[in-house]
Structure 1
């Protein structure tokens, strides 16, 4: 929903709640942010249109990743393409492009900061950039090692080397050998990866 429309609708809601109208201005007795709190928190439980709109856009991001066979999904993937991994569509590069899917796609970049992954085969989760091993992406937890990584866009399955039945080891590739002061950081990375594996 466009910001201007949301602001106008919230003004209509506020005016209705406080008994005002187009011709008269009545004072608002409580801040709108308090009115939007749920009843247990002391509010009236009125939905914040901004938060509700973001939640609905986020739901479409989830549906895009999970409803692969739906016709609408195939149309979006056909028009925009999709990023490897299938979690998001590619962004539109056309300057005049606008509309619902552009808003949904924009929300997708905000949603990914709150999404954590459970690794299956490792083909859809980025080793450095997705949140799968820690509460933050490895790129943030080990930024100095990311700077040395030869493939900053590596997928989890590209860094995992399978050995025998269900076994394997982590083999991230770096541009150069480590200096003495970097070894502690490397050890922390491998401690973080310990016990994690690709199926």
Structure 2
């Protein structure tokens, strides 16, 4: 086992970003990771970043919320597991919407949809499709509609004014 003391904070940060953030990326695209699991992964990242091991506990000098900020916002850029999970669901939804002629997209939509629009709330069949719908909720927050002659646009139901940014 590698000694944590041989690495400084910068080295541990690079190693945490390269390994711990990316280990579950493939699985997290298709499955929602439970809260306890994300908490455990975040704890492993936290402890590793500060050099805490089973033999020696170290003081965490900066809060986890500060560490998980982007580099430009005085953070170290380590991603929280639950935020990464939501982002991967949103990316999968976006790819499903934009590349509907791919084989995997056609298989998923034909299996889970029977002549229903992708953006409607419907009863889902597979877990993967549920997570794609969760991704749609995230995509919907940051997307807008192009107004043209179409049956997909509803003057009453659609959001026309985006929510104000939170401080």
Q: Report the TM-score, using the length of structure 1 for normalisation.
A: 0.56
1:46 aligns with 2:78: yes
Mapped partners of 1:109, 1:83: distance in 2: 21
Unmatched tracts of structure 1, length 5 or more: 137-199
The one of 115, 134, 138 aligned to 2:161 = 134
Match of 1:114 among 122, 127, 142: 142
Larger radius of gyration: 1
Report how far residue 19 of structure 1 moved: 0.8
Corresponding residue for residue 131 of structure 2? 103
Considering Cα pairs closer than 8 Å and 6+ residues apart, tell me whether 1 or 2 has the greater RCO.
2
User: Structure 1 residues 82 and 115 mapped into 2: Cα distance closer, same or farther (>3 Å)?
Assistant: farther
Aligned length: 131
Higher strand share: 1
Relative to 1, partners in 2 of residues 1:4 and 1:14: Cα closer, same or farther, differing over 3 Å?
Answer: same
CA distance in 2, matches of 1:83, 1:53: 29
CA RMSD of aligned residues (A): 2.5
TM-score, normalization by structure 2: 0.65
Q: CA deviation at 1:82?
A: 6.2
Distance 1:115 1:48 in 2: 23
Greater per-residue helix proportion: 2
Which stretch of structure 1 is more off in the superposition, 52-61 or 113-122? 113-122
What displacement does 1:8 show? Answer: 1.6
- CA shift, 1:35, in A, is 0.3
